[in-house]
Amino acid sequence: MSLLDTITSPAQLKALPATQLPELAEEIRAFLVSEVSKTGGHLGPNLGVVELTIALHRVFDSPSDAIIFDTGHQSYVHKLLTGRHDFSKLKKQGGLSGYPSRAESEHDVVENSHASTALSWADGIAKGRRLRGETGRHTVAVIGDGALTGGMAWEAINNIAVDKTLPLVIVVNDNERSYAPTIGGLAEHLATLRTTRGYEKFLDWGKRSLARTPVVGGAMFETLHGVKKGIKDIVAPQGMFEDLGLKYVGPVDGHDEQAMEKALRQAREFGGPVIVHVITQKGRGYQPAIDDDADQFHSVGKINPETGLPFEVAGRIWTDEFNDEMVAIGRDRPDVVAITAAMLIPVGLDGFAAAYPDRVFDVGIAEQHAVTMASGLAYAGMHPVVAVYATFLNRAFDQLLMDCALHRAGVTFVLDRAGVTGSDGASHNGMWDMTLTSIVPGLRIAAPRDGDQVRRQLREAVEVSDAPTVIRFPKGDVAEPLAAVCSAGDVDVLFETGEGPVDLLVVGVGAFAGTGIEVGEKIAAHGRTVRVVDPRWVVPVSADLVALAGTAAHVAVIEDNLVEGGVGSAVATALRSAGVEAPVHPYGIPKRFLDHASRGQILEALGLTADSIVVDLEPRLS
């Protein structure tokens, strides 16, 4: 039996002699490479936190002590040390979540996998426990240097720092990367901390120098204070944290388990908020991940564990269409600039960055800043394209509404991974974006049905200079081009049984245009007249779509967004306002959080397949 097999709870881990911990760490890394290569998942981040997580569970008493991971994708080692060894269905239906999950274990605290939130969670937990008199319990937040670029983390630090007795340990896991190398002033500050030693020696030198300086009284004090501050700022930049009132410990080698335990015990006993600065290597122990400059091993699909190469060559995805067209637009439009929130490669801006490096801005994990910065760029005469995952636009809604739309800023938002994404679970499904953005005055939403439409509608969007525009597309392989049989104004007709009035108008939104065609064909096979359309720009509802609905007895709208407040709701409202009496049958995502599973399994469970929709819709047409 391996050492790892004997660890079913932190209690067994604590009982291991320190001499066996390097062997355990090696077994954990071998397990991660073997198992994650079969299922896919976040490999690089977890290889980097093996010793750190071992030390956390040997020093603290989970679940009595709360350990909170930000963003949670580096919690695989935590899962193993708390008894979850079956990774055979990781991120798959019925298997382990790729993030902490309260349903899985009492050791898991925060399920949300949006970055920069752990410090606020920890602040609330620590203060709440103190108010309840639970003085013997500690709270630990593990946050990466990438997540520290998010403004919410600093809002939390601002509040934590004033509470001198709060039993809170903040572990900064500094590996210089999020999806890619961490950028910005904080990254430079941490880099200085990583390479600087000897503050006290320099301070002693300063005092000795002053002793030989012919100054007296207040001048002596001011000179000493000035030298101390100058040396501290230059040689010991941890002063930034200490000046805020936070005790600083580090930097600590995050792969030296015994050093980690010593630092964490010191922090635990301090009795107030402490930052433990830990230096780790993303992908530690697995050479393909260490050699990876583009962070492809941050999250992997099924790979050959020997080489790190994928078993299947990836096809062309939706993001590729956006990537290529942005480069072309950049060539034609020197006013077009791009903004990303620490995800240059995943959202497809790496091509634009290579071609026009001065016109792309990576703001770190700071979507709020990205949106307001984009509004400023628009005011200055540029046309910004803000590319984020659909789920992350939720974080910047106020900025979209008040800074961008209120000021009629010409900003294009490109939302990747819109709709059901599946395996990453509830917090990563991009199912809220059309509901949220559709209430913003003046904003227009495009939902391309294929790669050709991504390119065409992106071009149309950047031509809009007096209002925000949104383009959204899903995760995965791009759909085959769907040619329109004809157009009705701005609306593309994809299938129809004939001209004139029809029994059913099917509106297929974006990637669901193909599903709409399948539904139309199946309904038509039952002897009914059908027209299937793609409105292309789905919000606001176009007059051309309203006119087509006026020639139909029923309207069905199919989308991968919330049913409430989605395109179907917008169509129903527009028809009522125009006096069109055709009932609208919306098909979309119900208002609930979705468990992790494949996209296909989730769509099947929600009834968002052609067969399920036809079964539900056919009786309604009678």
Q: Which residues are annotated as a binding site for thiamine diphosphate?
A: 73, 113-115, 146-147, 175, 286, 367
CB 136 within 8 A of CB 61: no
Annotated catalytic residue, options 91, 282, 444, 475: 282
Q: Which amino acid does the sequence have at 121?
A: W
Give which of 449, 557, 455 is closest to 494, Cα–Cα. 449
What gap in Å lies between CA 516 and CA 505, rounded to an integer?
10
Give which of 124, 127, 122, 116 is closest to 164, Cα–Cα. 127
SS3 track for 67-135: EEEECCCCCHHHHHHCCCCCCCCCCCCCCCCCCCCCCCCCCCCCCCCCCCCHHHHHHHHHHHHHHCCCC
Annotated catalytic residue, options 35, 176, 257, 367: 367
In degrees, to the nearest 5, what angle opens at C-alpha 333 toward C-alphas 332 and 334?
115
Annotated catalytic residue, options 92, 359, 395, 472: 395
Binding residues for Mg(2+): 145, 175
Give which of 538, 466, 479, 536 is closest to 511, Cα–Cα. 479
Give which of 482, 375, 352, 475 is closest to 424, Cα–Cα. 475
In degrees, to the nearest 5, what angle opens at C-alpha 429 toward C-alphas 428 and 433?
110
Tokens of 580: 């069109």
Active site residue 284: no
DSSP 8-state symbol, 295: -
Binding residues: 73, 113-115, 145-147, 175, 286, 367
In Å, how far are 243, 402, 515, 561, 614 from 510, measured between CA atoms? Answer: 52, 27, 10, 11, 19
CB 43 within 8 A of CB 289: yes
Residue 435: CB partners within 8 Å, gap ≥ 6?
561, 562, 564, 565, 566
What gap in Å lies between CA 27 and CA 352, rounded to an integer?
41
Instruction: List the alpha helices (DSSP H) in 385-497.
Output: 390-393, 397-398, 433-437, 451-462
CB 133 within 8 A of CB 87: no
What gap in Å lies between CA 243 and CA 600, rounded to an integer?
52
Give which of 48, 21, 65, 33 is closest to 173, Cα–Cα. 48
What gap in Å lies between CA 583 and CA 61, rounded to an integer?
58
Active site residue 395: yes
DSSP 8-state symbol, 473: -
Determine the angle formed by the axes of helices 451-462 and 318-332, rounding to 10 degrees. Answer: 40
What gap in Å lies between CA 478 and CA 320, rounded to an integer?
9
What gap in Å lies between CA 556 and CA 558, rounded to an integer?
7
- Is the Cα torsion angle 469, 475, 479, 485 positive or negative in sign? negative
- Is the Cα torsion angle 299, 301, 305, 309 positive or negative in sign? negative
**Three-class secondary structure of residue 499 per DSSP:** coil
- 318 burial (CB, 10 Å; 0-12 / 13-18 / 19+) is buried
User: DSSP letters along 143-177, please?
Assistant: EETTGGGSHHHHHHHHHHTT-TT--EEEEEEE-SB
Provide the annotated active-site residues.
282, 367, 395
